[in-house]
Amino acid sequence: MVAARRGRQLLGVDVGGTFTDFLFWDGRQLRVEKRPSTPRNPEEAVLSGIRETGWQPEEVVHGSTVATNALLTRRGARTALVTTKGFRDTLIIGRQERPDIYALQPTKPPPLVPDGRRFEVYERVAGNGSVIVPLDEADVSAVLDRVERSRAEALAVCLLFSFLDPTHERRIAAEARRRGMTVTVSHELLPEHREYERTSTTVANAYVSPVMGRYLGRLAEGLRAEGGGGRLRIMQSNGGSIGAEQASKEAVRTVLSGPAGGVAGALRVGRAAGHPTVIAFDMGGTSTDVSFCRGEIGERADLTIGGIPIRTPTVDVHSVGAGGGSIAWIDEGGALRVGPQSAGAVPGPAAYGNGTTPTVTDAHIVLSRLPVDRFLGGAMALHSDRAERAIASIAAPFGSDTRRTAQAVISVVNANMARALRLISVERGQDPAEAALVAFGGAGPLHACDLAEELGIGTVIVPQAPGVLSAMGMLQADVVKDVEQGLVLYLDPAVTGAVSELTQTFERLEQQAREALALEGYRSRVRIERWADLRYAGQSHELRVRLGRGLAGSTIRRAFALAHEERFGHSDAERAIEVVVARIKARAPGFRVPLGTTAQATDTAAAEQRAVVVWDRPRRTRVLPRAAVGRRGIRGPAVLTQMDTTVLVPPGWQATPQREGHLILGRRT
Amino acid sequence: MARTRRRASESLDPARLSIIDSLVSAVAEEMGASLRHTALSPNIKERRDYSCAVFDAEGNLLAQAAHIPVHLGAIPESVRAVTELAPFRPGDLAILNDPFLGGTHLPDVTMVSPVFGSSRRRTLIGFVASRAHQADIGGMAPGSMPVARELIQEGLIIPPVRLYRAGELVPETLALILRNVRTPDERRGDLTAQVAAHRLGERRLAALAERTGLQAFQRASHALLNYGERLAREVLRDLPPGEYAFHDHLDSDGVREGTVSIMLRLTIEPDGWHLDFSGSAKQRAASINAVAAVTRSAAYYVLRCLLPSETPTNSGLFRRIRFTLPEGSVVNAQPPVAVAAGNVETSQRIVDVIWGALAQALPTRIPAASSGTMNNLAAGGIDPSTGHSWAYYETIGGGHGGGPGGPGITATQSHMTNTLNTPAEELELSYPMRVRSNRVRRGSGGRGMQRGGDGLVRCTEFLAPATVTIISERRAAAPWGLAGGAPGKPGQNWHAHAGRRRLLPGKCVVSVEEGDVICVATPGGGGWGTLAPRARGAASTLNEAEEHRDARSTGT
């Protein structure tokens, strides 16, 4: 990482649904700001925040929900699709499964491209890469005429096996671009096998990129007007950032922009505290984002947004339907349930003063764990009487005891989250007990120690500025260019020497990635990682394996055998393997921002003793501003307040600030 | 049992109930995650044709991870069958697939293992079970779904036997199984993955029971089952009592001419259902016979669809359902008949019949019939490029019925299955097959105020000689409409050879040559409600003509 030059002004800005978070660094001091988001024109909150603070950042790293929202609300560009003859319906057939098997009448979201704008061309490339039906220029011309007549703003092209031979796609794209169309071509965006997922990703990109392009255009213009005029980078779903120009052409790479920033930030905080293996635990109002990272950001290959599979590299983050606003209710069988419905930001928990439904936040208030006079640094008053009434409305089965009811709500939501955390770990072959839990978001640090007890986790880390961890992650994240190439490369045990086809592919990809970074101005200190998706011949599932520089058949096989052994407990030296995808990840370092330098918002509230219900009963508990915790730490039970979160330290636990200001919580020995 | 009832009635507080449900369900889910994580074959890993479940010591289902509805009523039967092997020791693990002893059809291989407390007394806490569809289990056709008459023709029959004894592999059992299947390496990998899922489930269930205390765990289990029963009763109470009859039939048994009828008299009482299948056809010397467990699964599935979406799955839900299943009929088959299609096809028709009866009770809730078939296609042979034998199996989605809630969805698996398709780009890399087209079969959904969803047409070219088995239904009788809606279009299968196209029967085994194309056109769903007068005409025969043309212009 590069220590940011003194005097150079940097800004990380994360636009969320409710708040736009700013983390500003001028080489000496960090400043944290929050502004209400302006969902209709997200750039307004960003620009006014910059204007009001008088900053003129030279470099802005930005997390945006523009692409995600365009997908979720179906407000993207009018898109057309060209496919191989016989496959125009791949987009609607998908994998032919229904999302909820016990739905009386299952539903599926409508496709991004309706029937009338999906077209086929005569052509076919076979599984061995040979052309069995050549492309016909007249046919291409006729199909593109029809695309034009459909008044599509954007065109997606996805032909079968184009990752093996892209010639046909290239010729269609060239002709379409000559006619002035905006085109996303599958072999450029995602040259790997599985036609539905590739088509879906290609279409999604065509659909959201024009929207993203217009947004980033307005933002860049605004930044210039504010006198910043510097570089604008966008956080991608892969946990790295990329220049605005590339982001507006491949906007689908940014659909998990915000969560990726959070994971990058959590991993960074974990490392700083000496815990390379972390579970990032971001619990907000309506949902909780969770990610298991073993020393590096994990990737997942099964992301769907609003029912649409997106296969570009994505941080391994999962959303769980539990948050502070989750609604507690008694079901028809008499069990207490929490969620998945949420009171959201509006009306919000009963204590916010607008709604009456009991939520997790209301339960915390009834248990005195959330000091009503200190919420958001005292900026927002909470109504404990309303929280009490809301919880009382479901208290009948608990002998009308609101305290017992509130405790029950907390234990049920904790059980739900523990279940999700454990499942996510098992799916990755990991044990949650081996990780440290990095808790952030408004509600995360209230639940973290209970979850740690439940999962056998020894250490909880609460970042210094948990409310802007995502913006911090963005500022610090590497600039990352992912390029990949699907192939069919068969390696039987007889192949021991250099595999020239793979070497050439990697060299070409590396060149491509370096050029992309050079366009952004990153020529030196670029690190290259080589990865490959490998499998035994005949299998349908790959393992992603990191490869070194030497690409002999024997070394590849050895790397695969090791990975297979670790995952499945066995490997087979005699069996042929296949290389299915070659991947290059090129990284240029992001900024190192020393967190210990954050200007503390001075919290003047005094420390006091209150009766707070922790676990089974009320206990005399110290309630104090987090900033007042001395270097030697504090023993639980304690409640630590700060502007953007509340930390609960249970009895038997100790919270100690670490050098950079992150709180380390552990059981006292 | 009487004692159980009384003790269970001391109810758990609402939070404990919710938490114990969450903890037990988590065990089943984690077993599923582990199985998917370590299995080798696409059938388990990609198509997710498996289920995992947790049982109490008395064999009651406490939780089942939601994957495959047809496993719902069947896994409990296999636990019951395995209890015959008692006494158990920790580390024992039984394997079986015998449809007449707790199985469903032979490719579904079930494992059951007892779970003990770790204290000195080694009390039996319960069982964990898993069922995974193995791509081949031997028999007369690759994929083990032949058009057969006797069970023995369908593949290797495994009665409940130990695969592990006190934690040690019984090598003879494994050797016997692997010698009788076409792709032993893959089977070994998948069976190993299933065992690993069990070991995880056993540890997790034991730890859970230890933590709560064994007696408390038993009380909690009973409370959980009672909770399930209460949830079901809430729904049952809202149904209008009465007797509703419905019948439907299968096109054929695949061996002899003639339809196979399924008759139901459903009696809805304020606190329960009675399903009486008297009058259904006698079992056939064919594979369309359903064992009782499959019939029960179908009923459980239907009830489960009427319950709120977050309802947990345990056997308490199903306590209020009683059955009359005539022995030796197609809904309660007895040895020695074949059963492969009973599981995949007859189960769908049993569901249709139950929905049909219920629609009379609940005319404003129940949708019209969905495609009513899984459109099974199995293929195999010797791959000339490798010299090895290969076996492939897929099911193909169809249209869903339209209903009061909206139009039916298109080209999707319905009711008793939810398995995924195999991507064309995966298939062609792994097997000597090439997908020529995979399109929506436009106009196949029945018309109505709410249209039925369309089926699809999938045409596959064979790049080497192969044996292809098709087991499909609704090729003659169409998926019915409701409330004035039109039926969906029946399916069709055809074989293109040397530029000529011939129709295939719904169930058949065909030998194909290099360059031949097999097309499966799946049924659309029935429409719901009377159509407004200005309806659109049949615009979509065009699509079908296109398929025919594509199929004919083979590369030979």
End-to-end CA distance of chain A: 36
Do residue A493 and residue A567 come from a single domain?
yes
**Is A82 exposed, middle or buried (CB count within 10 Å of its CB: 0-12, 13-18, 19+)?**
buried
Residue B555 confidence (pLDDT): 36
Q: Please indicate, yes or no, if residue A272 is contained in any of the structural domains.
A: no
Per the model's pLDDT, the better-predicted residue between A83 and A644 turns out to be: A83
Do residue A90 and residue A205 come from a single domain?
yes
- Across the range A115-121, mean pLDDT stands at 96
Residue B2 confidence (pLDDT): 38
Residue A460 confidence (pLDDT): 98
Q: Please indicate, yes or no, if residue B113 is contained in any of the structural domains.
A: yes
- The ipTM estimated for the assembled molecules is 0.91
- Report helix, strand or coil for B207: helix
Sign of dihedral through CA atoms A301, A305, A309, A310? negative
- Contacts of residue A640, defined as CB under 8 A and 6 or more positions apart, other chains included, come to A624, A625, A626, A629, A634, A646, A647, A649, A655, A663
Q: Please indicate, yes or no, if residue B470 is contained in any of the structural domains.
A: yes
**Which DSSP symbol is given to A192?**
S
Q: Which of A655, A653, A650 is nearest to A414 (CA)?
A: A650
CB A432 within 8 A of CB A455: yes
**Is A306 exposed, middle or buried (CB count within 10 Å of its CB: 0-12, 13-18, 19+)?**
middle
Do residue A612 and residue A552 come from a single domain?
no
CB A545 within 8 A of CB A555: no
Q: Which of A104, A89, A96 is nearest to B406 (CA)?
A: A104
Residue that finishes a domain, picked among B182, B215, B230: B230
d(CA A198, CA A538): 21
Residue B545 confidence (pLDDT): 53
- Across the range A391-410, mean pLDDT stands at 96
Do residue A466 and residue A608 come from a single domain?
yes
Do residue A441 and residue A332 come from a single domain?
yes
Of A177-186, A293-302, B17-26, B341-350, the one with minimum mean pLDDT is A293-302
Do residue A202 and residue A116 come from a single domain?
yes
What does the block give as tokens for A140? Answer: 């291409």
Structure confidence by residue, pLDDT tens digits, A40-49: 899 999 999 8
Q: Please indicate, yes or no, if residue B35 is contained in any of the structural domains.
A: yes
Do residue A452 and residue A488 come from a single domain?
no
Q: Which of B469, B413, B458 is nearest to B436 (CA)?
A: B458
- Contacts of residue B17, defined as CB under 8 A and 6 or more positions apart, other chains included, come to A333, A334, A335, A336, B11, B220, B223, B224, B227
Contact flag B439-A86 (C-beta cutoff 8 Å):
yes
Residue that finishes a domain, picked among A180, A197, A212: A212
Q: Please indicate, yes or no, if residue A22 is contained in any of the structural domains.
A: no
**What DSSP letter does each residue of B504-538 carry, written as one string?**
E-SEEEEEE-TT-EEEEEPPPPPPBSPPPSS----
Q: Please indicate, yes or no, if residue A439 is contained in any of the structural domains.
A: yes
Kindly list the residues from chain B whose CB atom is less than 8 angstroms away from the CB atom of residue A572: 185
d(CA A436, CA A414): 17
Per the model's pLDDT, the better-predicted residue between A436 and A594 turns out to be: A436
**Which DSSP symbol is given to A110?**
P
Residue B7 confidence (pLDDT): 41
| CA-to-CA separations, B116 to B165, B193, B201, B204, in angstroms, rounded | 14, 21, 12, 11
Residue B102 confidence (pLDDT): 85
- Across the range A296-305, mean pLDDT stands at 87
Strand ranges in B13-76 using DSSP code E only, listed in sequence order: 50-56, 61-64
Residue that finishes a domain, picked among B200, B230, B260: B230
**Which DSSP symbol is given to B239?**
S
Q: Please indicate, yes or no, if residue A218 is contained in any of the structural domains.
A: no
Residue A130 confidence (pLDDT): 95
Q: Cα A114 from chain centroid? A: 29
Q: Which of B468, B459, B441, B469 is nearest to B520 (CA)?
A: B459
Largest distance between two CA atoms of chain B: 77
Residue B441 confidence (pLDDT): 97
Min Cα distance B424 → chain A (Å) is: 7
Kindly list the residues from chain B whose CB atom is less than 8 angstroms away from the CB atom of residue A428: 37
Statement: residue A444 has pLDDT above 50: yes
Number of domains within chain A: 3
A110 at B interface, C-beta within 8 A: no
Contact flag A97-B418 (C-beta cutoff 8 Å):
yes
Kindly list the residues from chain B whose CB atom is less than 8 angstroms away from the CB atom of residue A195: 423-425
- Across the range A20-25, mean pLDDT stands at 89
**Which DSSP symbol is given to B318?**
G
Structure confidence by residue, pLDDT tens digits, B52-104: 999 999 999 999 986 778 887 888 999 999 999 999 999 999 999 999 998 99
Residue that finishes a domain, picked among B201, B230, B259: B230
Sign of dihedral through CA atoms A203, A206, A211, A212? positive
**What is the domain range of residue B115?**
2-230
Residue that finishes a domain, picked among A212, A246, A266: A212
Do residue A466 and residue A504 come from a single domain?
no
Contact flag B429-A569 (C-beta cutoff 8 Å):
no
What does the block give as tokens for A361? Answer: 């936040």
d(CA A360, CA B143): 51
Structure confidence by residue, pLDDT tens digits, A479-533: 999 999 999 888 888 887 778 889 999 999 999 999 999 988 899 899 999 999 9
Beta-bridge partners for B266: B244, B275
Contact flag B23-A415 (C-beta cutoff 8 Å):
yes
Do residue A568 and residue A639 come from a single domain?
no
Q: Please indicate, yes or no, if residue A230 is contained in any of the structural domains.
A: no
d(CA A190, CA A91): 16
Of the candidates B45, B67, B555, the beta carbon closest to that of A541 is on: B45
Number of domains within chain B: 2
User: Which amino acid, residue B203?
Assistant: R
Give me the average pLDDT of each 10-residue run along chain B (556 residues).
Answer: 40 88 93 85 80 95 84 88 94 96 92 88 91 91 88 96 97 97 88 93 93 91 95 91 97 94 96 95 97 95 90 92 97 96 96 98 96 94 85 92 96 92 90 95 96 97 95 97 97 95 95 97 97 53 50 41
Strand ranges in A325-368 using DSSP code E only, listed in sequence order: 326-330, 336-342
Min Cα distance B407 → chain A (Å) is: 9
Q: What is the CATH number of the domain that holds A76?
A: 3.40.50
- How many Cα neighbours within 13 Å face the side chain of B59? 16
Q: What is the CATH number of the domain that holds A496?
A: 3.30.1490
What does the block give as tokens for A546? Answer: 């990191």
Kindly list the residues from chain A whose CB atom is less than 8 angstroms away from the CB atom of residue B21: 335
Min Cα distance B294 → chain A (Å) is: 17
In the sheet with B507-512, reading across from the earlier edge strand, the strands are B389-395, B376-382, B466-471, B507-512
Contact flag A412-B22 (C-beta cutoff 8 Å):
yes
Do residue A454 and residue A529 come from a single domain?
no
Q: Checking DSSP bridges between strand A634-635 and strand A653-657, what pairing results, if any?
A: antiparallel
Contact flag B196-A569 (C-beta cutoff 8 Å):
yes
CB B367 within 8 A of CB B404: yes
Min Cα distance B35 → chain A (Å) is: 9
d(CA B193, CA A262): 34
CB B437 within 8 A of CB B431: no
Do residue A569 and residue A497 come from a single domain?
yes
Beta-bridge partners for A617: A614
Structure confidence by residue, pLDDT tens digits, B387-410: 888 888 899 999 999 999 999 999
What does the block give as tokens for B373? Answer: 């078939």
CB B330 within 8 A of CB B260: yes
A396 at B interface, C-beta within 8 A: no
CB A290 within 8 A of CB A424: yes
Per the model's pLDDT, the better-predicted residue between B555 and A283 turns out to be: A283
Residue that finishes a domain, picked among A183, A212, A241: A212
**What is the domain range of residue A84?**
72-212
| H or E element that contains A547 | strand A543-547
Residue A668 confidence (pLDDT): 86
Q: Please indicate, yes or no, if residue A29 is contained in any of the structural domains.
A: no
- Contacts of residue A37, defined as CB under 8 A and 6 or more positions apart, other chains included, come to A15, A16, A17, A18, A19, A20, A45
**Is A527 exposed, middle or buried (CB count within 10 Å of its CB: 0-12, 13-18, 19+)?**
exposed
3-class SS letters over A551-618: CEHHHHHHHHHHHHHHHHCCCCCCCCEEEEEEEEEEEECCEECCHHHECCCCCCCCCEEEEEEECCEE
What residue in B sits closest to A108 (Cα-Cα)? B409
Q: Please indicate, yes or no, if residue A14 is contained in any of the structural domains.
A: no
CB B423 within 8 A of CB A196: yes
| H or E element that contains A543 | strand A543-547
Q: Please indicate, yes or no, if residue A203 is contained in any of the structural domains.
A: yes
Largest distance between two CA atoms of chain A: 82
A142 at B interface, C-beta within 8 A: no
| CA-to-CA separations, B428 to A505, B515, B555, in angstroms, rounded | 22, 14, 16
The torsion angles phi and psi of B456, rounded to 5 degrees, stand at -140, 170
Q: Please indicate, yes or no, if residue B520 is contained in any of the structural domains.
A: yes
CB A234 within 8 A of CB A216: yes
Q: Could you give the dihedral angle defined by the CA atoms of residues B173, B176, B177 and B178, in that order, rounded to the nearest 10 degrees?
A: 120
A606 at B interface, C-beta within 8 A: no
Residue A5 confidence (pLDDT): 47
Q: Please indicate, yes or no, if residue B269 is contained in any of the structural domains.
A: no
Do residue A465 and residue A562 come from a single domain?
no
